[in-house]
Amino acid sequence: MKQKETPISAFNYIKRYLKRCITGPISLLMGLSVTIRYFFSPHKIVTEQYPENKKTLKMHPRYRGRLELIEDENGENLCTACGICEKACPNASINILCTKNMAGKKILGRYLYHLGSCTQCGLCVEACPFGAIRMNQEFELSSESVDSFELILNKKEGRS
């Protein structure tokens, strides 16, 4: 058997309305207290003024930008074209094209990186047994051209 809902009396309705009229502005002021404090003491603001401080802005050390190959002191890539990073990438953002040198040894031909589909997860960096790749600190990755998201990371192709 269903119970009938009792209608709210006029007195209870007015009481609830007045309570909301009093607590509403109080909660608004409590929410704006941070803004009011920063307004009167602007030296405590921690917001980065991005376009103005572009030259001095440093990203956090754990920030993952786009992928880059690490070179040794001779300017040669540390990548051995083993393909482990390509297999570790969850959305196939990395393509390694191998070639063979004069001795028949497999070497890195082209290291293709598709920035547009990369999620910057870092699984490829963790999977690399030689430490040949890393995520750099670049954060301005936007572009008007789709072609600029298809990168060849090794500049000296076919060298051992």
Domain range annotation of the chain = 10-44, 67-152
**pTM of the predicted protein model:** 0.65
**pLDDT of the residue at 146:** 87
Q: Which of 13-17, 40-44, 46-50, 66-70 has the lowest mean pLDDT?
A: 46-50
Half-sphere exposure of 102 (CA within 13 A, CB side): 1
Q: What would the pLDDT profile of 64-89 be if each residue is shown by its tens digit?
A: 999 999 998 988 889 999 999 999 99
Q: Any idea which fold 67-152 has?
A: Alpha-Beta Plaits (3.30.70)
Percent of the chain with pLDDT over 90: 40
